[in-house]
Each structure stands twice: as structure tokens, then as C-alpha cells.
Amino acid sequence: MPLKRELGLRDLTLFAIACIVGTRWIASAAHAGPGSLLLWVLAAVFFLIPLSIAVAVLTVKHPEVGGLYRWTRTDFGPWHGFLAFWVYWVGIAFWFPSAAMFYTSIALSPLGLSENRVALVSVALAMIWIAILTNVVGLRIGKWTENIGALASWTLGALLVTVAVMVWRRHGAAMKFYLLPSVKWDTISFWSTIAYAMTGIEMAGLMGGEIRDPGRDVPRAAWISSVFVTLFYAGTTAALLVVLRPEQISELNGLAQVVTSAGQILGAGWLAPATVLLVMATAIGQFGGLGSSVSRMPFAAGVDHLFPAGFAKVHPRWNTPHVSILAFGMLASVLLVVAQFGDSMRAAYQTLVSLMVIAGFLPYIYMFGSAWKAGRRWSAFFGQAMTALAVVCSVAPTAEIGNVWLFELKLAGGTVALIVSAWVIYRQYSAGSRIS
């Protein structure tokens, strides 16, 4: 049973914004200082725009469900297609628990539980499964979740900038702004986070078989979302730095700290709860967008008999790859629990982020390779260069890491386990594949 084409230009643009924008990255950027503003612009020029060009041309070239998996399989062969799918799929599974930890800390901050690991993990698991089970119902309903999440991003950005202007007019900025980012060993990994924050437009490509007019709508949606994302990240980062200095902004719950401080300065007690609601709306939209789109890759691999046949099943009522969606939720839940072992909560969060960045960026090597073959040479060149830089930067430990060897061992072991597990599964199923 084929999936239905439900996404028009408006839905696709809002879908892309919901998948790209992560409100947690603005706290990380503000924590790193005003130099992040230049990094946002550079990441947009040298990574986001090349990525958008690559996704647009490849989605038009291969307008089927599966996106990255099908692009890589066609250009580099079945094994490489499977490896790209597997690493990316698991990378998004790493994204889910780390994002859920952040958004949960925002929600629990007013209750004084933002540092309580048991509460964070429990609520994070609940958020993951609410998003997963909602997506089983189908894109026709689910797309409105992403639409609301994207509109909440617009509203949140406007609110933070407006509040920052009011604080600046009353008390001035918390610090002097400067252009160049500081270069320190314990902040190098943040550079990869900046680049990773610009990813997500490729999720539209994963939904290629459900876009009404890929040739017209994907390039337009890519450009509109790219402009909005750049303005959002740079504007909100500057807004946070007007209110508090970088050292006062936590990477995990810095946004809550800023809006609480701004609310006290302005006498606006409603600001913190309003921000929490908007952040949670963006989170639900992002969970819905990524959860629904990434499930299309194991679905496509299942259709090709490179994955268990159950993943190729479509729900008879809701017309969704429900087995793929549920399996993804189970994987994300296990990773959330396992990452808590052996270190502090902040270190666990940073480990998840680094593993997510490594797993998330490795498939881009294939994606930009396909863009090169499709004739987008400059896009592919800058994309590959930024991908390599992001992977290298992601292995540098931050100041929150107490046990560097444990941190590096988790990263090395996780990366090797990804590749080996992909090979074992591929070898098991490739013999019966129609494309082997």
C-alpha cells in the first residue's frame, strides 16, 4: 500500500522549520559567547545552504519515500545505502533522548526539578512516547503538529527579541558584544553543535513520496526555511546575551534562566510560563517531524528486503509505517537510559550530544557525494568540508566532562558498534534482497 502525498508548499515549509529549529541550541550558543553569532552566519552560508541545495536536487531526482537511503543506494550501492540509513536512523535516536532531556529540564525548572535525574528521565520517556504514538495515527493529522511547532518557533523568536530590547532599554546589555568566537579546547565541540543545529532539511527528502509536487515545492521550502532558521538562531542567541552573561547561562536550562531573569527585571511574571509553553510546542513539532520522517528509511529498506519484513508494513487504517515508528521509539528509550550510566547528568547529556553529532554527520558524506554526482559541485565541496570539521570537533570533551577517557570510550565504542551492527544486519538480509 503506497503512502499518500499529503504535503504542499506551506506544510512542507513549516515541516522543514519544525525539523531544523531546536531551541536548546540557542542556550548552548549563548553559553559560548557573542562569537556564536558569527558562527551561525558561517554555518548557514557554508553548510545550511549547501545542504538545502543538495536535498532539493536529490529529492527532485528521487521523489520516492526513503530519501537518504535511496539516494545513497542508487549512487553507491546497496551496502552503502543501508549503512547511511542505519547510522542516520540511530543518530536521530540519539537526538531524541538528548532533546527530551533539554525540553524536560525547561518544563521542570519552575518546579525546581531541572537537576533531578529521575524526574528528567521519567518525563523525557513520556514525551518520547507521546510523540511516537501520535505519529502512528498518520501524516494527515500529524502534519498539523509540525505546523504548530513551526509557528511556535516564529512566536518564540519574536518574543525573545522583544524582551531583550526592553531589557536593554531599561538596564543595557549584560555584556559587551564582540565578533570573533573564542578558541578554547573545551569549547571546540560546540562548533560541531552549531553545524548540527542547521541540519534537518533532509527530513523533507525522506518524505519525498508524500510531497505533492517535489520539483516545485522542495526548493522553495528549502530557501524559505533556511532564511528563517538563520535569523532565528542569531536573533535569539543575541537576545539571551543581552539579559545574562555567557557564564551565567547553562547549556541545559539556560533558556529558563534567561526568561526568569528577564521576567524579574521587567516585572513580567507571565514570561517564564509563556516561554515554557512555546518551547514545548516547538518540541512536540520537532519530535513529530523527525519521528515521522526518519521512520521512512527503515520502511524503504524493508520494502527492499534489507530489513525485517515487518518494517515494510503499512497500517491498514492510518496508512503509516507503524512498525518502523514503534521500533524507533524503543531504540530512543533504551539509549536514553543507557547514557545515564557512569557520569553526571550534564556529562550524560553531553555524551548524547556528541554521539548524536557523530552518527548524524557520517551519512552526510554520502549525501554530498550524491550531490556531487548530481552536478552540484560547490554545494558538495563545502558540505563535505563542514561535515569533516564537525565530526573532528565533536570528539573534543567539554568542561562538563569529568571522566575524559570514559567519554572518549563511549564515542569510539558507539561509532564502531554502529558500523559493525549495520554490517551484521546487512549480511543477514542482503541474500534475500531484490537489489542484492
Alpha-carbon gap, residue 295 to 321, rounded angstroms: 7
Per-residue burial over 87-114, b if 16 or more Cβ lie within 10 Å, else e, is: bbbbbbbbbbbbbbbbbbbbbbbeeebb
pLDDT of residue 402: 59
Amino acid found at 382? F
Please provide residue 7's backbone torsions phi and psi, each rounded to the nearest 5 degrees: -100, 120
Alpha-carbon gap, residue 325 to 328, rounded angstroms: 5
Q: ∠ at Cα 427 (303, 90), nearest 5°?
A: 65
Please provide residue 291's backbone torsions phi and psi, each rounded to the nearest 5 degrees: -65, -40
CA distances (Å), origin 235, targets 26, 154, 166: 9, 11, 15
Could you tell me the end-to-end alpha-carbon distance of the chain, in angstroms, rounded to an integer?
23
Domain boundaries, the chain: 9-430
Alpha-carbon gap, residue 42 to 221, rounded angstroms: 21
Q: What is the largest CA-CA distance in the chain?
A: 69
From the number of C-beta atoms within 10 Å of its C-beta (0-12, 13-18, 19+), residue 164 rates as buried
**Alpha-carbon dihedral of residues 277, 281, 283, 289, nearest 10 degrees?**
180
The pTM (predicted TM-score) of the whole model is 0.81
Alpha-carbon gap, residue 119 to 2, rounded angstroms: 41
Of 230, 199, 240, which is closest to residue 38 (Cα–Cα)? Answer: 230
Contacts of 64 (CB under 8 A, 6+ apart): 70, 208, 209, 300
Amino acid found at 42? L
Of 339, 288, 370, which is closest to residue 58 (Cα–Cα)? Answer: 370
pLDDT of residue 370: 92
Q: Which CATH fold would you assign to the domain 9-430?
A: Amino acid/polyamine transporter I (1.20.1740)
Q: Concatenate the DSSP letters of all residues of 59-100 into one string.
A: HHHS-STTTHHHHHHHHH-HHHHHHHHHHHHHHHHHHHHHHH
Contacts of 286 (CB under 8 A, 6+ apart): 18, 19, 21, 22, 99, 149
pLDDT (tens digit, 0 to 9) for every residue of the chain, 436 residues total?
455 666 778 888 888 888 888 887 888 888 888 888 888 998 899 999 999 999 888 988 887 777 888 899 989 998 999 998 888 888 787 777 777 777 887 777 766 766 677 777 788 788 778 777 777 776 666 567 778 888 888 899 999 999 999 999 888 877 777 776 665 554 556 677 788 888 888 888 777 667 777 778 888 888 898 999 999 999 999 999 998 888 888 876 788 888 888 888 888 888 888 888 888 888 888 887 887 788 888 888 888 888 888 887 877 777 778 888 888 888 878 877 766 655 555 555 555 555 666 667 788 899 999 999 988 899 999 989 888 887 777 666 655 555 666 666 766 777 787 888 889 888 888 765 555 4
